[in-house]
Chains A and B, each alone.
Chain A
């Protein structure tokens, strides 16, 4: 006889299933699952904002590391750019996570929900913009900082069967925006992948594949920094973190393997629609909580 599930077991298994689905479809949509995990936890599973941030951060870290090995072997990520960007995103993430620890559960918390709702909605044009091809990567004169730090590289573009050379530009502007991406990452326990990729693609002038893989590296470091603060603030519940990590990592792994075999265009649109719905719901929850 199988006994009835206790409320805790019921919650943990639900979280596991949600994390698997978010990881799987997030990988297929190329958006990562973090953006929808956090709102599902807060809006539908009844987790507090702080616990949802901690659990989501663990899920993002697990996904980043699971998919990171394949990106690394392909030698597409730009380690110079990644380490430079991490120097501003990590302080940003520490600031963001500190704000969450200080204000989660207080009267200010609804403002966090409103901000997250706005960020979810603001991601839509960014994600759509990334679908439009930018043309050839920047290959002009590097700016002084890029020249000093040797921010240029090559990668193998398999579909076009050529080695592509690129250079970074507008490094100062990139670092300014990326500090903000780090703050958002720490505040909400998400990877800020869309903002990272959009900035590297449109501001720094890196090819989209280099931007995507470099973002994966940066997200890992940011989230690790955030976790230090979230742990200290008691916002990472290991019991909740385990099913999120297992589900996100397994979902992302299998989603990544399925990606070349199926047409994932419609999944991206479903994901974007979910982000709009969740964004509006978070906004409403925040406004009614004020």
Chain B
């Protein structure tokens, strides 16, 4: 430790949020951001390829002999899934990151016996979860 040139290690340790808590949150965000980015990219490329290839492949389907030899048909087969589902899966991954970060906060606050703020944090997470459940299964 140096008083003249302090580093992040010189910060006083917060009982609710020790350095490991921040590292855990950062790792969660990094991993989910990469997974989300890849899923969104796959969904986006698939949508473009389908948009380009599908109408052509629909024509080619009538000529079975040429089916495997056209790039349009090949790609439309390769990306024969619903791109929207993949993108929505990516959004769900981001939801895990946001909720997970709040849950990690709440656990830290409970451990430090800061029960009021911990309960507030849990309430916020619960509210978001209820909103999603209502959105999915509600009227």
Contacts and interface: CB of A to CB of B under 8 A. Distances in A.
A87 B124 contact: yes
Given A156-B7, A232-B134, A87 B83 contact: no
A68 interface: yes
B36 A72 contact: no
B51 A75 contact: no
A69 B33 contact: yes
A241 interface: yes
A58 B84 contact: no
A217 B102 CA distance: 9
Given A153-B14, A154-B11, A156-B7, A245 B90 contact: yes
Interface size class of B (residues with CB under 8 A): 35 or more
Interface of A: 3, 6, 8-9, 12-13, 16, 58, 61-62, 65-66, 68-70, 72-75, 79-80, 82-84, 86-87, 90-91, 94, 148-150, 153-156, 161-163, 217, 220-221, 224-225, 227-229, 231-232, 236, 238-239, 241-243, 245-246, 249-250
Interface of B: 4-8, 10-12, 14, 16-17, 19, 22-23, 25-27, 29-30, 32-33, 36-37, 40-41, 43-44, 47-48, 51-52, 83-85, 87-88, 90-91, 94-95, 97-99, 101-102, 105-106, 108-109, 114, 116-117, 120-121, 123-124, 127-128, 131-132, 134-136, 138
19 contacts: A6-B51, A6-B52, A13-B48, A61-B91, A70-B26, A75-B22, A83-B102, A86-B102, A87-B123, A153-B14, A155-B11, A156-B10, A156-B11, A227-B95, A228-B132, A229-B131, A229-B135, A238-B43, A245-B40
